[in-house]
C-alpha cells in the first residue's frame, strides 16, 4: 500500500513539472498571429490548455517509461 502512495505522489510531481516546463516552452510560440486581435483571454486559455495537454503527454511518457524500466528487473 505504501508503494502505491509513493507512486501517486511521484506521478503528481512529474505531471506538475512537465506542465510547468511545457508552459515555459509554449511561451516561445506566437499564437497571437493565429488568433484574432482582441481575444486576449482566449489566447491565454489556449496557452494554458496547450501546456496542460503537452505536459500531460510528456509526464505520461516519463511515468510509463519509469514503470516499464522497473518491470525489467523481473526478467533477471
**Average pLDDT for the chain:** 89
Give pLDDT, residue 27: 87
Burial of 51 (0-12, 13-18, 19+ CB in 10 A): buried
Q: Give the pTM.
A: 0.81
| Lowest model confidence (mean pLDDT) among 16-20, 49-53, 61-65, 68-72 | 68-72
Amino acid at each position: 500500500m505504501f508503494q502505491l502512495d509513493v507512486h501517486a505522489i511521484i506521478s503528481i510531481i512529474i505531471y506538475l513539472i512537465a506542465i510547468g516546463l511545457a508552459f515555459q516552452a509554449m511561451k516561445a510560440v506566437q499564437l497571437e498571429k493565429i488568433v484574432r486581435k482582441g481575444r486576449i483571454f482566449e489566447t491565454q486559455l489556449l496557452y494554458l490548455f496547450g501546456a496542460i495537454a503537452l505536459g500531460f503527454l510528456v509526464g505520461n511518457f516519463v511515468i510509463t517509461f519509469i514503470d516499464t524500466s522497473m518491470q525489467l528487473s523481473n526478467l533477471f
